[in-house]
Structure 1
Amino acid sequence: MNDSIERRPMTTVRRRPANRRQLIVEAAGHRFSQQGFENVAMGDIAADVHIGASALYRHFSSKSELLCAALDAELDRLGQAITAGVSEAEDLDRNLESVAQFAVTNRRAPLLWEREARHLTAEEWSPRAANLREVRDRFIAALSGGNADEGAVLRARAALSALLSPAFHSVSLPPDAFRSSLQHLAKRILAAKLPAVGKRTVPAAARGLAPASKRELIIQAGLRIFREQTYAGTRLEDIAAEVGLSTSSLYNHVESKADILETVLLRGNGYLHVTLDDILASASDEEDALRRLVGVFASFAVRRAEVTDAMVTDLRAPGNTTEQLRQGQREYVEEWVHLFMALHPGRGRQAAHIEVQGTIMTIIDIARDRQYGCVDNLADLLTSLATQVLIY
């Protein structure tokens, strides 16, 4: 008698994870912050969580809805970090540590509201913008001690920019050392003694002469529209209408949107490198060079906020010079780091990079913030702040 039993292969029953929606949102946030909203397909996100597109659409009807959900999740995390930090308002270290921990753990999250949120409609962005303002205001109120002094508020706002600055660069350290470097940077900002914050003035109508070149007019118009509508959301028809040309006539002066953006970014990089070369050639020592670099950069960031904004938000735009631009930015920052380390030889290179990058990003972030862009002595304020942060 054959008592062997025929055994059938066991069928694995796949159970839907209870947190599938959360997994989808996290995958989407990661993709959007790493690749850019316009470069991500719904199928990419579905594949990341091992589901089909139809299953994804049962949860979210569009990429925009996913971006809204990813923004909500990260803003909630930042809000929780700030709430945890301000539970003991007198403990400055606790406040800074909590947000620094968020920045290290959720490093690319700020890119969702600083860069990718521009792809949302005004209706979609409005409640997220209100949430972001509320979160920032809570942090600022905690660090400024409820002080209504505008200088204290500006320092607290700058400290938050510095803490979240790792989103915009790739330099890293072990988590504890990374948090420590960010906290050190934020403390330097909060300890800075600033001139009185000047008057807020309504920007006057453009003065001076308009360029004679049609190409220059097109480039200037394109840059303004990129800032308002995003590079991806701008059509050549929009730029043509702004300068009073037909779209077909526009092609007589520029090849594409990428041509406009590349021109702006190359000029911005070129200006910074030329001024860097001039300063290094005439500086008496490293401190003199760093002081002058800070002043020139702060002035440039305030005068041409739309250019520095493009340099940190649109560098991934299609074109043939992206790597050249990135290399130029890396070399520029490296010169700052070299000067900083000459003044502070005890700082390790990675920590020095984090502090320098954080200072540069703080200048850019405050200069492009419309709340401060109209302050008449903003360049002086940022120069004073950054100089005290880097030279001590």
Structure 2
Amino acid sequence: MTVDAVRRRPRDRRARILDAAAHRFWSDGYHQVSMAAIAADVGIGASALYRHFRGKEELLLTVLDGQLRSMEEIAAHDDDPVAALIDFTLEHREFGVLWEREAGHLPETDRRGLRHRLRGLAAGLAAERTDVPGLRSWAIVSVLGSPSHHHTDLDHARFAAILRDAARAVATTPLPDDTSVLVEPRSDLRPASRREALLAVAVRLFAERGYPSVGLDDIGAAAGIAGPSVYNHFATKADVLVAALGRGNEALWLGLHRALTHAETAAQALDLLVGHYSDFATENPDVVDVLVTEVPHLPDERRDVFRRAQRDYLAEWVALIHRDAPDLPEPETRVRVHAAIAVVNGLSRIPHLRATPGYTAHTAALARAVLDRSSVN
């Protein structure tokens, strides 16, 4: 390369690379992204990209480290850190998905370091609360990350106002007087059906290790089933994932139908639906983990079908709200629904929170507070 060529290199190239990588990882999923695709997005060759970063892993770590560093600076110096963090996550909508879905692809040492920093950030967001500060602070983090899970197009100021109200709701809403403690399953009993046993083990392994790191032989070994016998039930690992996601999705739809059947009004149905979703997430955290993180690994056609089913399910929440409040703009309602579901999903995936007294009732109360239209100004 000539001296003139070096001089023509944009000064912000590294920042542009990181922005492109963040967007690619968010939209396509870490394992579906190549260095060549990121380079093409920036208008450079792959060899030039490797001069900046050794590979995707370093890129992902640098993206997450940079975003978290910016959020730490905001939390430390802004007079209204939650409002400022909301502005940041709206400008960097990939944050939630990168943290919840893609950080698992990093080495454990790096994940642990990022997790420690995010835990410190979260702790300061509801520090003034003395009842369940951990639950409330992580609920705020879930609200911050919720825009990452949808593409609702809404004016920034209005979007931010709704999220501020959602964050305020989870920070201040009164919680029910419930001290019951969730007892984690201890039984080693499994279904007699080998297919069901394989499916149950697969969900746990996918949640613990991530889909790409689990093989059919791993699933068979964990279920106590010889490798070749696994193929009598699932031809490919993708078939296992399709079955696992389908099972979780159908359980959610059954809960919706139950809420509609047992309610006399739309408001009652929504209340029952929130309760069912919170119960489901509490009792099936591994299923929720897989629903949140592993959809990008589905075959293309299956992925499209599943995402459509997810959108349809969320649309039912929106429809219930609109039956009581038809004047509410649909995009604003979708933002609140996504935030409420993100709160339940996010909390269910943190084991030490699930062990806190009153967890299930408190989580449902936080989600209901986010959905309460009276809190949206």
TM-score (norm 1): 0.87
| Overall identity of the aligned pairs, in % | 34
**Residue of 156, 176, 180 corresponding to 2:161:** 180
- Give per-residue Cα distances to partners, 1:153-197, cap 9 Å, x unaligned: 422321221122111112120111111111122222223111357
Map of 1:224-373 to 2, 5 A cutoff?
224-319=204-299, 320-373=301-354
Distance in 2, matches of 1:276 and 1:201, equals: 23
Measured after TM superposition, the shift of residue 69 of structure 1 is 0.8
Q: Look up the equivalent residue of 2:361 and give its one-letter code.
A: D
Equivalence for 1:137? 123
Distance in 2, matches of 1:139 and 1:390, equals: 20
Equivalence for 2:99? 113
Map of 1:152-163 to 2, 5 A cutoff?
152-163=133-144
Q: Look up the equivalent residue of 1:185 and give its one-letter code.
A: A
The answer on whether the counterparts of 1:286 and 1:342 sit within 8 Å (CA) in structure 2 is yes
**Residue of 54, 57, 74 corresponding to 1:61:** 54
- Give per-residue Cα distances to partners, 1:131-164, cap 9 Å, x unaligned: 22222223333xxx2x4x2424422321221122
**Residue of 40, 49, 53 corresponding to 1:47:** 40
Q: Look up the equivalent residue of 1:316 and give its one-letter code.
A: P
Distance in 2, matches of 1:126 and 1:305, equals: 20
Describe the shift of the 1:296–1:311 C-alpha distance in structure 2 as closer, same or farther (beyond 3 A): same
Describe the shift of the 1:26–1:283 C-alpha distance in structure 2 as closer, same or farther (beyond 3 A): same
Measured after TM superposition, the shift of residue 114 of structure 1 is 0.9
The answer on whether the counterparts of 2:253 and 2:313 sit within 8 Å (CA) in structure 1 is yes
Distance in 1, matches of 2:278 and 2:6, equals: 60
1:104 maps to 2:90: yes
Distance in 2, matches of 1:199 and 1:62, equals: 47
Q: Look up the equivalent residue of 1:290 and give its one-letter code.
A: L
Distance in 2, matches of 1:264 and 1:377, equals: 29
Larger RCO (alpha carbons 8 Å, 6+ apart): 2
Distance in 1, matches of 2:357 and 2:151, equals: 34
Measured after TM superposition, the shift of residue 204 of structure 1 is 4.8
**Residue of 67, 76, 79 corresponding to 2:69:** 76
Describe the shift of the 1:277–1:196 C-alpha distance in structure 2 as closer, same or farther (beyond 3 A): closer
1:164 maps to 2:150: no
- Give per-residue Cα distances to partners, 1:92-124, cap 9 Å, x unaligned: xx3332111012100112221211111112123
Distance in 2, matches of 1:125 and 1:239, equals: 24
Describe the shift of the 1:184–1:131 C-alpha distance in structure 2 as closer, same or farther (beyond 3 A): same
The answer on whether the counterparts of 1:298 and 1:383 sit within 8 Å (CA) in structure 2 is yes
The answer on whether the counterparts of 2:25 and 2:33 sit within 8 Å (CA) in structure 1 is yes
Aligned to 1:324, the other structure's residue is in SS state: helix
TM-score (norm 2): 0.91
Aligned to 2:212, the other structure's residue is in SS state: coil
The answer on whether the counterparts of 1:367 and 1:378 sit within 8 Å (CA) in structure 2 is no
Distance in 1, matches of 2:262 and 2:208, equals: 39
Aligned to 1:232, the other structure's residue is in SS state: helix
Distance in 1, matches of 2:19 and 2:178, equals: 40
- Give per-residue Cα distances to partners, 1:57-94, cap 9 Å, x unaligned: 22221211111111111111222332343xx3xxxxx3
My pick for the range that moved more, 298-307 or 28-37, is: 28-37
Map of 1:186-205 to 2, 5 A cutoff?
186-196=167-177, 198=179, 203-205=184-186
Q: Look up the equivalent residue of 2:31 and give its one-letter code.
A: E
Measured after TM superposition, the shift of residue 232 of structure 1 is 1.6
Distance in 2, matches of 1:362 and 1:340, equals: 18
Distance in 2, matches of 1:121 and 1:35, equals: 20
Distance in 1, matches of 2:258 and 2:212, equals: 36
Distance in 1, matches of 2:102 and 2:245, equals: 19
Distance in 1, matches of 2:97 and 2:180, equals: 31
Distance in 2, matches of 1:154 and 1:13, equals: 51
**Residue of 28, 36, 40 corresponding to 2:29:** 36
